Amino acid sequence: MNLLRREFLAGGIAAAAGWAALRVASGDAARHSAGTRKRSRAPSARSRPRGNGLEGKRLGTIFNNDINNILAASSGADMTAEEYQRAVFAILDMKPGLLAQNVGMPDPVIYRSAVATAWDKYHEQVTRLVWPEAKAEDAGRQAAAMRKLLEADTDPLTLAIAACRERGVPIVASYRMNAEDFYQSTTLMSDFGRAHAQFKIPGANCLDPAVPEVFAHRMEIFREAAERYDIDGIEFDFRRWYHMVSNPLENHPVLTRMVCQTRRILDQVARRKSRAKMLLGARVGPSLDSEPSPFRH
């Protein structure tokens, strides 16, 4: 696939959604389902790719997968670990060099967390609030699917990690920074957002990392993911949405500090896990002079 990396990233999410829906609906790739439940727990550190295999320019194509496309295309309350992994394997069939799995916005998240809010807690309620025309089955599908996985003592990130380990594909936890996917109700998607609506960026529907409490909460989320999950690194998606920090001409060092502190966290975790390297990536716009996205809301 001779596409520029930027062109691939632009189309990767849509491609992931299509493949996930196709494979989950048809049951194709069922050959990967045998024994999946046993693989749903993250394997030991010995099975990870290490060293030079994770050097940036040697990764090849990076597939950025959406946070909820598999949940949205799932059977909902009938979701199983096998079903979720079939969709992940369908993505890995395209042989990416690395899977950047979107796991949080940065809060809520699609994994078990003691810091951030689980995706299923408020998703149906907020979906009905933002899109009242949605059918009941559609509004509740993602929360029901996520809840079913949690009841089975697993979660989407754990299942994606296990699939990547089986195929030998590195995986990073990608965070959609200051996402506003639920528009004026975005902060209702997390416990922290509900408790601290006063920390929103003026004129935006997301929290301001220039506020110390918000910054500290974000860093706790990133540290927990690196320490508790068998990921190969973390990616910050500063590309999807617009409002990353209040007064950006003045407060942009806040974002630099966030990246620097995350680098230190990953280095600390790598040493504790006896790893040679953990990745840190940042997705940004192509230019300071252009709109970050072709549409506005």
Q: Are 137 and 75 in contact (CB under 8 A)?
A: no
Tens-digit pLDDT profile for residues 122-145? 999 999 999 999 999 999 999 999
Return d(Cα 60, Cα 56) in angstroms, integer. Answer: 9
User: Can you tell me the mean pLDDT for 259-274?
Assistant: 97
The sign of the CA dihedral 52, 56, 58, 61 is positive
Dig out the tokens for 217 from the structure: 């909460």
Tens-digit pLDDT profile for residues 236-253? 999 899 899 999 989 999
Return d(Cα 28, Cα 22) in angstroms, integer. Answer: 8
Q: Is 233 helix (H, G, I), strand (E, B) or coil?
A: strand
Residue 127: predicted pLDDT: 97
Ramachandran region of residue 49, left (φ > 0), alpha (ψ -120 to 50) or beta?
A: beta
Amino acid at 135: K
Residue 33 binned pLDDT confidence (cut-offs 50, 70, 90): very low
Which contiguous run of DSSP H or E holds residue 148? helix 136-151
Q: Are 174 and 153 in contact (CB under 8 A)?
A: no
Q: Quick one: how far is CA 202 from the chain centroid?
A: 25
Q: Say which DSSP state 185 is in.
A: G
pTM: 0.81
Q: How many CA atoms lie within 13 A of 36 on its CB side?
A: 27
Residue 173: predicted pLDDT: 98
Torsion angle in degrees (nearest 10) through CA of 99, 165, 52, 269: 90
Q: By percentage, how much of the chain surpasses pLDDT 70?
A: 77
Q: Are 65 and 15 in contact (CB under 8 A)?
A: no
- Closest by CA position to 232, among listed 52, 33, 48: 48
